[in-house]
Chain A
Amino acid sequence: MWDYTDKVKEYFFDPKNAGVLEEANAVGEVGAIACGDALKLMLSIDPETETITAAKFQTFGCGSAIASSSALTEIIIGKTLDEALKITNQDIADFLGGLPPEKMHCSVMGYEALQAAVAHYRGEEWADDHEEGALVCKCFGIDAAMIERTIRSNELTTLEQVTNYTKAGGGCMTCFETLEEILAKTNAAMVDEGLIAVKEAYSSGSTDVLALKKKSREDKIRARERASAASAPIQISGLQLKPDEPDPAPAKRPVMTTLQKVKLVEKAIENIRPFLKADGGDCELVDVDGDAVYVKLSGACVGCQMASHTISGVRQKLVDATGMPLRVVPVS
């Protein structure tokens, strides 16, 4: 029996905004019946303000697929298209108080339906390269296709790198043999294609997994020590953050020059980096434009399921440091 939250049950048993929206001027259809889920999202968008005035859905799928679809409509009604497009699948899952890792794809389907509906409204083509593989890491909900893609695009050749880049295997580790198998197989194919040298390719069983586990534990302890040594107490570990918290009221906003603002942002980001590095990730400031702070996440943050938490955490930290309602925009 799946461990669904009360919110998921509530949105499944009494879904809000279910049915056909006759006046819809944007429709997004995604899913695959072979996988047992499909979603038709219908939006009514005010052309003047580009605000979503109504949203309805029809879903073929399990309880959490229906709940995710309903949650999505609740989240986006009243938002402008630009605001709505910033919503991630993690936001949908968070709205529902979390989803079992095997069911995270339900929230992804919601995210994709929204992207498709907006593309339809704007007359754009929306093609997704979405390809779902077998779920490998149950702690972080990472599937085989994603792991293989990441191995290829980053030319990964060690188990440690795979965990750092995808987060897979970073939890209970019961999947590490599967990770080894995927890594060895993908590396072997990459050797055949001339992408990496034979001696670089990973061979299964060559990692001392116990040592790896010990090392990751030690890294975490060191990071914690560094954290307590740092002057300002920072809470950046994803789980402690509340990504949906509204911006603090801009009551006493100091008047600042752009240079001052950039310097403050820079300093705040420098303070955050050690904590991201401790988890195998990193973050660098790319640009500041108005209230938008563009950052580039790298290392383990790339493709990490918790990345949106991290972004929210970074934003919270920047807002605290500058006293300004900044937005953090990840760029690649």
Chain B
Amino acid sequence: MKHVYLDNNATTRVDPQVVSAMLPFFTEQFGNASSMHAFGAEVSGAIKSARKSIQALIGAEHDYEIVFTSGGTESDNTAILSALEAMPGRDEIITTAVEHPALLQLCDYLEKSRGIHVHVIPVDTHGRLDIAAYKAALSPKTAIVSIMWANNETGTIFPVVELAELAKEAGALFHTDAVQAVGKIPIDLKSTQIDMLSISGHKLNAPKGIGVLYVRRGTRFRSLLKGGHQERGRRAGTENTPAIVGLGKAAELALAHMDVENTRVRELRDRLEKGLLQRIPNCFVTGDPYSRLPNTCNIAFEFIEGEGMLLLLNREGIACSSGSACASGSLEPSHVMRAMNIPYTAAHGALRFSLSRDNTDEDVDRVLDALPKIVEKLRALSPFWAGAGEAPKTFNPVYA
């Protein structure tokens, strides 16, 4: 049975072209870029050309604005911690309720351990940011604003270009976690006021363990890791050359496929979404349908729980993900679903399908064929389900 992989917001397949580009850098061009000999020289050339590919993908003005890191989490941590050190007299952070844990848990930690004031901006039921609350939170105390470009669970895109302009007016730094947006939608940083931006390699067909923090020229910055002059003193540690070369190749491919992503992938996503909504009663799309990544679709199925659907889909060879509590090991459903105030009865039954350019019409058909039966099966087991269109029966568990 051919596997249908629809979990590309979790991680992507490393493109075979990326693998071929990387291979020589393990056994032949294995030098240390800092070395004063031929081994070093050819490696530093390869790193420079990877930097240029990423510069092109995100429309950065200079290639040296690209700082290689170990991934999105390190990039996010570096941005926030740098701003708190480098922005004198400013000690507040503004972020949103739907950020990735790489940011929210760091902010939580900073609040508890250092007493940093963190403003968490809420979203509405469609995942749209409360702009008025954001404006009200900006002040001369704001060190940094960190707002994701696109949400990993719903695909909702935030207007970061405008949000960055507002931050600038308040004199604050603006960082965006763009791990889900880079490679999926066109980005042109030089025409924006965004100071820092995080990229994760494995979300765009490069390997895991490599990422980028874009740092705009002239941005006040303090490195997170100490101990080396690499990346112009902004990220210590010998460069992970094979992965950097891989990310460079992946950036090239992403740029070349940007149109495909926004036409063919978008069409597949739309067909999947419409098909499921037609075939399955009592389900709805979460997030902002008008401002959304072309590859992501999050649908909440009422009265059933996500993990059961994932297990049954997995048996059919279909992989996607869920915001349900039981699939994550905590008791709360996804913080993104909660922030959007999606009722518990639906939040636990939210499934995320995230497509890629590798997906086909046949993949979509497989889901359209399998999922309606799965939902029906689980609803037949659910004490909350009373048939399509009807209100659920009264069901009052003892300690609900």
Contacts and interface: CB of A to CB of B under 8 A. Distances in A.
A161 to B, nearest CB: 27
A302 interface: no
A63 B307 contact: yes
A22 to B, nearest CB: 14
Interface residues of B, number: 32
Contacts, number: 103
Interface string B78-101: 000000000000000000000000
Contacts of B348: 33, 36, 60
A37 B326 contact: yes
Q: Which of B304, B344, B381, B395 has the most CB of A within 10 A?
A: B381
Interface in B280-319: 303-308, 311-312, 315
A265 interface: no
B344 A58 contact: no
A127 B398 CA distance: 7
Given A13-B315, A36-B348, A60-B383, A29 B397 contact: yes
A59 B324 contact: no
B331 interface: yes
B336 to A, nearest CB: 15
Interface of A: 9, 12-13, 15, 18-19, 29-40, 57-66, 102-103, 112, 116, 126-128, 130, 132, 134-135
Contacts of A9: 311
B308 A62 contact: yes
B384 interface: yes
B277 to A, nearest CB: 22
Contact of A33 (B326, B329, B330, B345): B345
Given A37-B326, A40-B383, A66-B381, A128 B308 contact: no
A18 B305 CA distance: 16
Interface in B370-388: 380-384
B332 to A, nearest CB: 8
13 contacts: A19-B380, A30-B397, A30-B399, A33-B384, A35-B325, A35-B331, A36-B325, A36-B344, A37-B326, A40-B395, A59-B381, A60-B381, A112-B398
Contact of B324 (A18, A19, A32, A62): A62
Main secondary structure of the interface of A (DSSP, over half): mixed
B396 interface: yes
Contact of B305 (A61, A112, A135): A61
B219 to A, nearest CB: 36
B136 interface: no
Interface of B: 303-308, 311-312, 315, 324-327, 329-333, 344-345, 348, 380-384, 395-400
A29 B395 contact: yes
A37 B384 CA distance: 11
B383 A59 contact: yes
Which 9 A-B pairs rank lowest in CB-CB distance, beginning with the nearest? A62-B326, A62-B307, A58-B383, A40-B383, A36-B325, A36-B348, A31-B397, A32-B400, A33-B344
Contacts of B397: 29-33, 38-39
B312 A13 contact: yes
Nearest to B327: A62
Q: Which of B305, B324, B397 has the most CB of A within 10 A?
A: B397
Contacts of A126: 398
Contacts of A37: 305, 326
